[in-house]
Amino acid sequence: MQETKELNALFTLIDDPDEVVYTTVTEKLVGYGKPVIPNLEHLWETTPNEEIQERIEMIIHRLHFTDLQSDFTEWVNSPCPDLLFGALLVAKFQYPDLQTTPVLQDIEKIRRNVWLELNSFLTPLEQANVLSSIIYNYYHLKGIELKYENPDDFFLHKVLEAKKGNAIANSIIYQIICEKLEVNARIINIPKQSIIAFFNSEFELDESNTQYRDQIHFFVDATNGQAYSHTDIETYLKRIGASLDPAYFVPKTHPQIIKHLIGEVAKCFCKVEQEYKQQELLQLVALIDELIV
């Protein structure tokens, strides 16, 4: 963006000790939108003062976050919010300059390898065996314990790069591949688990319907690709003291999946100096909640 007198004046006020002045300057710079980021980055590079650099970084972060809110609004309001695109938007919270092409290429490689092994004569269980074999054995995607120490465990590009992710990230990758291959498998609401349900061929998502259990053939653990029967799931629910609630078997919509992902990522930013990131992520959760009501 071409520098103007007003922009230069705002830059000189970034180091003002008065918080009111700094807040006003920040709001005005955020009002310029993303085009002002290169100017701020140049200012950061030519500023030796670390405190001023931190302020510049915060302003750049605010600009990216404002843009991300608009992207999420557009995504949720689109006729068919794409799950992969939604997951990449979550990653852009921490990695605003994320290049999506390598991610799309990795997903396409997995999809193609699974597609080569599928045919119309396979049963749903045989399809699941192919999917699990390619994703976990051939591609070597590993499941790791769900912890909140490293947000990268939730971001698809980092999971695909490291070939290891927690159950939430892995389940999203699994569902993305299934959707690209028109396999009727969806993430469902089993408590404290990321479980993929394989539905019968007549399955169609109807948000007013809660009776999905009878349409499910079996279940797959997104951590490692292991298949579970209805009896296995019932045993698990009894063990944790949960009733056989029909709501557990309702497939999550894409916005619901992404809302859950964002909420889980927010738990990674619990340190005092990171609290602003947690609050921003919770704002995104609230934004999606508002839009899907």
Q: Is the pLDDT of residue 6 over 90?
A: no
Average pLDDT over residues 224-241: 95
- Binned at pLDDT 50, 70 and 90, residue 43 comes out as confident
pLDDT, tens digit, 9 for 90 and up, residues 176-190? 999 999 999 999 989
Q: Are 61 and 25 in contact (CB under 8 A)?
A: no
Residue 165, strand partner residues: 143
Helices (H), the chain: 5-12, 19-32, 37-45, 50-77, 83-94, 101-117, 124-132, 156-162, 167-180, 230-239, 254-266, 275-292
Q: Is the pLDDT of residue 205 over 70?
A: no
- Binned at pLDDT 50, 70 and 90, residue 84 comes out as very high
pTM of the model: 0.91
Summary mean pLDDT of the chain:
92
**pLDDT score, position 208:** 62
Q: Are 111 and 180 in contact (CB under 8 A)?
A: yes
Tokens 């290429």 correspond to: 105
- Find the range with the poorest average confidence among 6-10, 137-141, 178-182: 6-10
Angle made by CA atoms 43, 49, 52, in degrees to the nearest 5: 60
